[in-house]
Amino acid sequence: MGSLPRRQRVAAYAVILRERGGRVEILLSRLAPRVSRSELWTLPGGGVDHGEDPRDALIREVHEEAGLHATVGDRARVYSAHMPRSPRDGQLVDAHAIRLVYEGWVPPDAPAPRVVEVDGSTVEAAWKALDDVAAGAVPVSSVVTEALVDHQPFRLQRVAAYAVVTRCAGDGDEVLLTRLSPTAAHPGRWTLPGGGVDHGEHPSVALAREVEEECGLPCEVGPLLGVHDTHFSGTAPSGRIEDYHGVHLVYRASVADGEPRVVETDGTTDAVAWVPTTQIATGEVDVLDVVTYALGAERD
């Protein structure tokens, strides 16, 4: 008996996660009955055509299999599967699969997944609870199991500068705050004016720039009051699940006279206001932890 024909195939897949209602879900594609007689889910992706960049192939495959426009990370993990007697196109072959698995993500407002490709290898796309996949409640291919063992959320450390700007009002002190827009990580909550420090930019220069963009008033940056940080895993505005560490440089500052207004368009701030500190203390105004930290540091 002669040896079976050899088939080697390179394919690109993506681990695409999202958070909904406090649970993490993964995007999966169900293989067509001609590929797997029993129900079997796999990562979205597929074969890399000759001359095609694997990341471009993956973006194409995700759209064909799930109807979604994905963003793909730069790095991949490589998995190798040798299947000496595997059915392919009605015959047994000696198959060797090289699988490149990337991290991917889709916008938070992405539509429900749906198969676009006609007569392809997948017949359904859906978000599945990651806990159900891990528990075996969802039948998945080996590439899903292998990839999830190795997958870690993207780690991002961000340095930002924020301003504590206060004034005396008739009934007490007020602090200048900005409200986070729907494109921000915590939409609807209030925080200090400020933002990220660009590469090579002095924090005080970054802060003056950010305050003017978010409040429409020139800013004079004073002394550093303290350093606040936060560490959590969550969904970034892009839709990517991140292991996020924010380092916040908190400065005392002052602004010129005038009514504050948001100058930046389509940014992470959609409102600015002078807020009584009593409303923050009572919880009437929902603020990020950095505000409470900053007001405490400002009093010390």
| Joined tokens for residue 63 | 């759209």
The mean of the pLDDT values for the chain is: 93
Q: How many domains does the chain have?
A: 2
Nearest to 241 by CA among 12, 20, 13: 20
Expressed as residue numbers, the domain containing 196 is 154-299
Share of the chain above pLDDT 90, in %: 80
Whether residue 17 is found in the same domain as residue 57: yes
Q: Are both 235 and 108 inside the same structural domain?
A: no
Task: Please indicate, yes or no, if residue 1 is contained in any of the structural domains.
Answer: no
Say if residue 202 is in the same domain as residue 129. Answer: no
| Residues 146, 59 contacting (CB under 8 angstroms) | no
Which one, of 11, 54, 29, 40, lies nearest residue 120 by Cα?
29
Give tens-digit pLDDT for 157-181: 999 999 999 999 877 899 999 999 9
pLDDT for 143 beyond 80: yes
Query: If you ran DSSP here, which 8-state letter would residue 89 be given?
Result: T
Predicted TM-score (pTM) of the model is: 0.79
Tell whether 94 and 200 lie within a shared domain.
no
Task: Give residue for tokens 């290898």.
Answer: 121
Residue 231 main-chain phi, psi, to 5 deg = -140, 120
